């Protein structure tokens, strides 16, 4: 991974830790993958794609990098999955305690064990919104409780875990799964209200762990374990935007990009997804600030305009 780089090649003044609201932690770890290897190359491919991405977001009319995005040195601990999880946990918690909006990019899904542990220690009444093709609810796999197949087992015990897009799992996972909080892909395909039903299950504070194999392999083929029947781009964005609008998303990670030298489209999708999620987060913060300002200024002519708009929405 290149040294002395900024996220997406942004000017250095927007990439300093002291002035950045956002922290991005790359975790190029692929120690427990069981099929296609290469997720350790994911952060580099993601960062390279980000450097070739235009940074004005049309949908939100924003340039979220202006909030400041600090790219940390990558976490390179590979001695064991348990050691890696511990380092991720300590690093994520360090930046959360600096009052940053902390994000991570993997790497395979085992990195999320440490990430979720950190966020659960720092935020009350946490929901983990797990978007994935796989249930990842094994207590132990391959001789470790820190395997990618165990990514949300601990979250299922200690947080409000809501799972979306699931379409592959082992029968043993049915015994620990909370069926009332799982949205299987085949059921989502026949349920036009699934987004609202997911939102109803989320608490106020939400951490999102997004495995890229949740997305259909026709548009996201570069993952370690692609599964047919996944989410498509605009339904994914509609869902995420509503989560960010209605809940306090406290952080997120994106995992399981397994880049392919012959096809860069998946790298670019991952880059756009990350930037979209930041754009939704900080658009919502701006709207919340604007609302507070209007509340403080009852004579503002925009108050009536806002009320008119609310009355006009059905």
- Decide: helix, strand or coil at residue 70: strand
pLDDT value, residue 38:
80
Closest CA to 284 of 250, 259, 310: 250
Question: Residue 285: how many CB atoms within 10 A of its CB?
Answer: 15
For the residues 254-281, what does the mean pLDDT come to? 96
Give residue-wise pLDDT tens across range 62-82. 999 999 999 999 999 998 999
Closest CA to 44 of 275, 247, 257: 257
Cβ contact 251:207 at 8 Å: yes
Q: How confident is the model at residue 237 (pLDDT cuts 50, 70, 90)?
A: very high
Q: Please check the confidence at residue 286 and state whether its pLDDT lies above 80.
A: no
Buried b / exposed e along 96-112 (16+ C-beta atoms within 10 A): beeebbbbbbbbbbbbb
For the residues 93-118, what does the mean pLDDT come to? 96
pTM for the predicted model, two decimal places? 0.90
Q: Is residue 292 part of a domain?
A: yes
Give residue-wise pLDDT tens across range 77-99. 998 999 999 999 999 999 999 99
Give residue-wise pLDDT tens across range 21-64. 999 999 999 866 655 678 899 999 999 999 999 999 999 999 99
> CA 265: distance to chain centroid?
19
Output the average pLDDT for the chain: 90
pLDDT value, residue 259:
95
Cβ contact 270:46 at 8 Å: yes
Cβ contact 277:240 at 8 Å: yes
Q: How confident is the model at residue 173 (pLDDT cuts 50, 70, 90)?
A: very high
Q: How confident is the model at residue 284 (pLDDT cuts 50, 70, 90)?
A: confident
Q: Look at the chain and report how many structural domains it folds into.
A: 1
Alpha carbons within 13 A on the beta-carbon side of 278 = 31
CA–CA gap between residue 152 and residue 145 (Å, rounded)? 10
Q: Please check the confidence at residue 299 and state whether its pLDDT lies above 50.
A: no
User: What is the extent of the structural domain holding 128?
Assistant: 7-311
Question: Residue 165: how many CB atoms within 10 A of its CB?
Answer: 27
Q: Is residue 191 part of a domain?
A: yes
pLDDT value, residue 70:
98
- Decide: helix, strand or coil at residue 19: coil
SS (H, E, C) 256-292: CCCCECCECHHHHHHHHHHHHHHHHHHHHHHHHHHHH
Q: Is residue 45 part of a domain?
A: yes
Residues in CB range of 52: below 8 A, 6 or more apart = 268
- Decide: helix, strand or coil at residue 142: coil
The domain that holds 73 is classified in CATH as: 3.40.800.10
Q: Please check the confidence at residue 241 and state whether its pLDDT lies above 50.
A: yes
Q: Is residue 2 part of a domain?
A: no
Give residue-wise pLDDT tens across range 181-202. 999 999 999 999 999 999 999 9
- Give me the helices (H) in the chain, please: 42-50, 81-96, 111-122, 153-158, 185-188, 194-201, 233-246, 265-296, 301-311
């Amino acid at each position: 991974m290149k040294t002395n780089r900024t996220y997406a090649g942004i000017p250095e003044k927007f990439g300093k830790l002291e002035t950045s609201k956002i922290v991005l932690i790359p975790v190029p770890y692929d120690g427990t993958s069981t099929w296609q290897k290469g997720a350790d190359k994911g952060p580099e491919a993601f960062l390279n794609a980000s450097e070739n991405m235009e940074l004005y977001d049309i949908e939100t009319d924003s340039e979220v990098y202006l909030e400041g995005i600090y790219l940390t040195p990558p976490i390179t601990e590979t001695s064991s999955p348990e050691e890696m999880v511990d380092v991720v946990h300590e690093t994520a918690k360090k930046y959360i305690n600096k009052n940053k909006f902390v994000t991570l990019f993997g790497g395979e899904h085992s990195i999320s064990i440490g990430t979720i542990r950190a966020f659960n220690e720092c935020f009350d009444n946490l929901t983990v919104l797990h978007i994935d093709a796989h249930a990842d609810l094994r207590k132990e796999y391959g001789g470790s409780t820190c395997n990618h197949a165990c990514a949300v087992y601990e979250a299922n015990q200690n947080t409000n875990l809501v799972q979306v897009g699931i379409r592959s799992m082992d029968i043993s996972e049915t015994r620990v799964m909370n069926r009332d909080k799982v949205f299987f892909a085949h059921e989502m395909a026949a349920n036009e209200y699934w987004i609202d039903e997911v939102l109803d299950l989320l608490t106020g504070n939400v951490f999102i762990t997004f495995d890229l194999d949740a997305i259909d392999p026709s548009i996201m083929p570069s993952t370690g374990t692609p599964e047919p029947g996944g989410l498509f781009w605009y339904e994914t964005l509609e869902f995420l935007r509503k989560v960010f609008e209605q809940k306090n998303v406290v952080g997120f990670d994106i995992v399981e990009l397994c880049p392919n030298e012959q096809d860069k489209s998946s790298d670019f999708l991952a880059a756009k997804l990350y930037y979209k999620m930041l754009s939704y987060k900080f658009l919502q913060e701006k709207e919340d600030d604007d609302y507070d300002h209007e509340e403080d200024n009852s004579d503002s002519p925009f108050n009536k305009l806002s009320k008119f708009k609310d009355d006009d929405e059905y």
